[in-house]
Structure 1
C-alpha cells in the first residue's frame, strides 16, 4: 500500500480547527460562513479594482465584454 503524503495545515485551517472545539449553534455557524464569504468577496473586489485601475478600464469596456460571444466551436 502506498504511503499517503499530507501537506501541513495552512494557518487558516489551524484557526478554523480551533472553532471546532466550540459547540456553535446553526445560527452562529451561518453567521461565520457569511463573514467568511463577505471577507473573500471583499478581497476579490479589491483585486479586481486594482486590475481595473492598472488597465484603465471603463464601464464601456465592461458593456462591450458582456456583448461579446467568445464561445469556442464545439464547447457548448
Structure 2
C-alpha cells in the first residue's frame, strides 16, 4: 500500500514519530500524556494572563462575568 503525503510533517509530528520506534510501557505513555497536558495547560494559562494584563481585568470582572445571563 502506498501512502501519499500531501504536506510535510510538522516538527511535533516528526518528534512524536521517533517515539513510535520504542514500545513504551503504559506507565511511560501515561507520564508523556501528563507532560503534554501540563505543557499545553501552562501555555493556555500564560495566554490568558496576557489577555488579563492587556485588558486590565480585575477579580471583580471575573465575578461579574460569572453572574451574567447571556442566554436568549
The answer to whether TM tops 0.5 is: yes
Q: Deviations over 1:13-63 (max 9, x none)?
A: 100000111110000000000000000000000010001000000000001
In structure 1, stretches of 5+ residues that fail to align are none
Corresponding residue pairs, total: 69
TM-score normalized with structure 1 length = 0.84
C-alpha distance in structure 1 between counterparts of 2:61 and 2:34, whole Å:
31
- Give the CA deviation at 1:5: 6.9
TM-score normalized with structure 2 length = 0.88
In structure 2, stretches of 5+ residues that fail to align are none
Would you identify which runs of 4 or more consecutive aligned residues in structure 1 move more than 4 Å? none
